[in-house]
Amino acid sequence: MWATVQRKAKPTTLPQVSAIISTYNSEKFLRGCLEDLVNQTLYKKGKLEIIIIDSASEEKEGAIAQEFQTKYSQIIYQRTPERESIYAAWNRGIKIAKGNYITNANTDDRHRPDALEFMANYLDNNPQTSLVYGDQLVTTFPNDSWATTQANKCWNWPEFDYQELERRCIIGPQPMWRKSLHEIYGYFRSEFRVAGDYEFWLRIGKNEKFVRLPEILGLYFENEKGLEKGGERAKEETDDICNEYGIFQRGVKRKISVTTQISSAELMTLPYRQIIGGSQRSKVKNSQYEPIDFLSRSDLVSVIIY
């Protein structure tokens, strides 16, 4: 059995989206992650459910979760008796989720305040689309925030193409997909530790419609320790997946995803940014802006693990 704690107050309507948080020894990130989610425009409209799966952490994520539960509704917390893979934790969360749409909320990443509403509305308005994904700013500062980050790099993912997916994982770290997909294709394979999401996208991507939304919707934390620790395992798992799906056998040439540069001026054109200059302080709250075309840039830096 696992410990379960949930605030007693129940919402009058079912959530539109369920955000799944898997945590293990991520106490230093969890508070910022939860603050990020409860400040989402979708949460403020009562349409976001937050599910925390504590994978037998040695730290005090449970205390932080319960603190938030006393202040906010629609937060579920479960602790497992033993550590399990992130994909096993996601599966637990998905099975109890009440939302029509699922998104993973990594403890060390952050979102544009309207990101989840933006993605959910697209899925609502485009019933033939099964999954959406956007671009991310890239930061090297832990617990950075969308409003004030000085990130100078960006993940600029390509439009979806299954052949490109075979070359590299192009979905990014913050997608949103229909929960009903799991009734058709099953769940994430829990034996994977790093690349299980890539396997799932390959499994469903041939038959389902994936759409890239041409906006920067999140903030990805480039954790150097995490990359060093997971790089070899990620390569091994990705190679196994490529063999399983016949990617190597068909002579598909694998590619490496790289980030592009973003200038300070471009950064400040993004919505929901705080502009601080002397005593002047303002916020841009309109997401109706012309997307910046990062594909034309030649300054390529940083490598993603798969």
Gap between the Cα atoms of 241 and 99, Å rounded: 29
Gap between the Cα atoms of 23 and 53, Å rounded: 6
pLDDT at 277 over 90: no
Gap between the Cα atoms of 236 and 244, Å rounded: 12
Q: Are residues 83 and 128 in the same domain?
A: no
Q: Are residues 162 and 27 in the same domain?
A: no
Q: Are residues 179 and 284 in the same domain?
A: yes
Residues 6+ away with beta carbon under 8 Å from 126? 211
Burial label, 27 (beta-carbon count in 10 A; 0-12, 13-18, 19+): middle
Residue 128: phi, psi to the nearest 5? Answer: -85, -10
User: Between 86-96 and 196-205, two packed helices, what is the crossing angle to 10 degrees?
Assistant: 60
Q: What is the pLDDT of residue 12?
A: 59
DSSP element (H, E) containing 28: helix 27-38
* Token pair of 11 as six digits: 């919402």
How many independent structural domains does the chain possess? 2
**CATH number for 63:** 3.90.550.10
pLDDT at 283 over 70: no
Tell me the pairing of strands 258-261 and 300-303. antiparallel
C-alpha count within 13 angstroms, C-beta hemisphere, residue 21: 33
Q: Terminus-to-terminus CA distance in the chain, angstroms?
A: 34
Q: How confident is the model at residue 4 (pLDDT cuts 50, 70, 90)?
A: low
pTM of the complete model: 0.87
Q: Are residues 57 and 197 in the same domain?
A: no
Interval 70-128: pLDDT, tens: 999 999 999 999 999 999 999 999 999 999 999 999 999 999 999 999 999 999 999 99
Q: Are residues 198 and 268 in the same domain?
A: yes
Q: What is the pLDDT of residue 227?
A: 42
Q: What is the pLDDT of residue 202?
A: 99
Amino acid at 56: A
* Token pair of 181 as six digits: 């997909």
Count CB atoms within 10 A of the CB of residue 231. Answer: 14
Give the range of the structural domain holding residue 179, as residue numbers without chain letter. 111-306
- Smallest CA-to-CA distance from 149 within 219, 203, 79, 200 is with 219
Q: Which of the listed residues 55, 89, 108 is the one where a domain comes to its end? A: 108
Q: Are residues 166 and 223 in the same domain?
A: yes
3-class DSSP state of 221: strand
Burial label, 73 (beta-carbon count in 10 A; 0-12, 13-18, 19+): middle
3-class DSSP state of 4: strand
Q: Are residues 117 and 229 in the same domain?
A: yes
More confident residue, 95 or 294: 95
Q: Are residues 274 and 135 in the same domain?
A: yes
Q: Are residues 205 and 192 in the same domain?
A: yes
Q: Are residues 263 and 117 in the same domain?
A: yes
* Token pair of 304 as six digits: 């993603």
| Minimum mean pLDDT range among 34-38, 259-263, 292-296 | 292-296
Q: What is the pLDDT of residue 88?
A: 98
Gap between the Cα atoms of 267 and 271, Å rounded: 9
Cβ distance 21 to 52 under 8 Å? yes
Q: Which of the listed residues 42, 73, 108 is the one where a domain comes to its end? A: 108
Q: Are residues 130 and 86 in the same domain?
A: no
Q: Are residues 46 and 63 in the same domain?
A: yes
Q: Which of the listed residues 74, 108, 142 is the one where a domain comes to its end? A: 108
Gap between the Cα atoms of 40 and 227, Å rounded: 28
Count, in order, helices (H) and strands (E) of the chain: 10, 14
